[in-house]
Chain A
């Protein structure tokens, strides 16, 4: 049971690391190319800027979800400091 929990934990941390590598790729060449255009305008912004705002919000959501998951499992480190 404990092994299974650890394996799930490792899988989640690896997925988050891969997510941030993908985010880097998606914000520079060549991942950004399909989105690096002016139209359509969304919320008044050029599409390229709106896309960046979405990636920022999504990255916040991913890290927030990881943090909440850690808290729910008692892994957020609340009891490991002095």
Chain B
């Protein structure tokens, strides 16, 4: 049997297993929106731990992470930096969000903020921003999945077909099982990613250099500029500390606030389970070390690989490894892509229905009908992202940068909700709109950026300033209402 056929069979077997887990898991959920979107608020520690781990590590982990280490060296360390601090704020606000979710029936992020500031406009704005942020992110996951298929089958399965196969499976289990399908497949995918990352991350340096230490010694001698923080920029020039620092800041802020991630707070069985999952999250995150080792392993032995994201498949297909091992890599990369992609599809559909349609036009929407509508939108959103993945020439990386800038603008809303009793609806709205406008303006006119800082940082600064000033000159909200949130 030809090697590529074995690779394909291993990959398809993995997809089959994901599908089975995804379909079986959904049988226990109730039929309404709380069952479909928040898993009846019943996820235990192990599942929530893997959901938090796997749904943030996307196709970027297996392709982009090694690609960054390979082409930009120490710049890739910023991923570890923002992950170290990114989830810690959840320990403080996670229990408050979960308690309020149970009390008032929230299952999305916007429901919390819209309720605190009594603003349907804010709900709609957050729905739009979430969608703008999700679609490029999801599209990149699909492209990543298609790319993996294409490389390991030596082009016999084109990117469009690979993306269709992987996301066909995602679509079926998300449609059928909702968040429980996402959660249990994330558990499978998370375990798989961890095992493969450590295996490849330790094996490849050993195979190519005789060990991790020998690899870094060789790199330090031949390419010291690559190992010296803050590493290199995308053009191969030294990166600036301003860009490095602000990338860590914006990513750390965005990390805990991505709406699809934030929504997982509502799925926890209880506060203790939520806190335990947050505490143990770094034990998942440490797998970024072997991921970066993979990229560094390619620098001296495989120079000139373009795009840099192809470094891991390039190494694996050139090493004469058993086809089963290459197939396992393929499955691992798909796991990384799908574990984020499924959460995005599910969250985007839920947000559009709950925060857009239901809030603006149909507050009386019956729970069963709502879940049905979310399922239909799951199909629509997957189709739109797929169309972008196979047909669009738009720079997704640029859109993704915009996304991070937008998501960071949610941080002042969170602070205002839980910390500042004087924050008002006009203040929250004005701050959020001003922050997003700054992000858009600085992305359109990069020459306006000061100190080489990420546009999101300037957006947050303007957001805080405008939000504070407008709140101070507008009528204070009811003390009783605010206390519900600040004292939660």
Q: CB-CB < 8 A to B227: which residues of A?
A: 38, 46, 48
With A67-B275, A77-B271 already in contact, the answer to whether A45 and B229 are too (CB < 8 A) is: no
**Interface status of B387 (Cβ within 8 A of chain A):** no
B150 to chain A, nearest CB (A): 32
Which one of B114-122, B242-250, B353-361, B402-410 contacts A? B242-250
Residues of A within 8 A of B (CB): 13, 17, 20, 23-24, 27-30, 32, 36-39, 41, 43-46, 48-49, 52-53, 55-57, 59-60, 63-64, 66-67, 70-71, 76-78, 80-82
Whether B212 contacts A44 by the Cβ 8 Å rule is yes
How many residue pairs at the A-B interface have CB separations less than 8 Å?
A: 125
A-B contact pairs, 28 of them (CB 8 A): A13-B92, A20-B85, A28-B249, A29-B241, A29-B244, A32-B229, A38-B220, A39-B220, A44-B216, A48-B74, A48-B77, A48-B229, A52-B80, A53-B80, A53-B289, A56-B83, A59-B84, A60-B279, A60-B283, A63-B91, A63-B278, A67-B279, A77-B95, A77-B270, A78-B270, A80-B99, A81-B99, A81-B270
Out of B88, B275, B276, name the residue touching A20 (CB < 8 Å): B88
| Chain B contact residues, majority secondary structure | helix
- Rounded to whole angstroms, the CA-CA distance of A22 and B89 in the bound complex is 14
B405 to chain A, nearest CB (A): 18
- Rounded to whole angstroms, the CA-CA distance of A78 and B99 in the bound complex is 12
Whether B98 contacts A81 by the Cβ 8 Å rule is yes
B335 to chain A, nearest CB (A): 23
B55 to chain A, nearest CB (A): 20
Q: CB-CB < 8 A to A82: which residues of B?
A: 102
Q: CB-CB < 8 A to A24: which residues of B?
A: 85, 248-249, 252
Whether B80 contacts A36 by the Cβ 8 Å rule is no
Q: CB-CB < 8 A to B89: which residues of A?
A: 20
**Interface status of B211 (Cβ within 8 A of chain A):** yes
B91 to chain A, nearest CB (A): 6
Which residue on chain A has the smallest CB distance to residue B211? A44
Whether B216 contacts A56 by the Cβ 8 Å rule is no
Which residue on chain B has the smallest CB distance to residue A49? B77
Whether B244 contacts A23 by the Cβ 8 Å rule is no
B2 to chain A, nearest CB (A): 38
Q: CB-CB < 8 A to B248: which residues of A?
A: 24, 27-28
Whether B81 contacts A28 by the Cβ 8 Å rule is yes
- Rounded to whole angstroms, the CA-CA distance of A41 and B230 in the bound complex is 17
User: Most chain-B Cβ atoms within 10 A of its Cβ — which of A64, A71, A77?
Assistant: A77
Whether B229 contacts A78 by the Cβ 8 Å rule is no
Which residue on chain A has the smallest CB distance to residue B95? A77
Whether B102 contacts A38 by the Cβ 8 Å rule is no
**Cβ-closest 5 pairs across A and B:** A77-B271, A44-B213, A44-B212, A36-B229, A29-B241
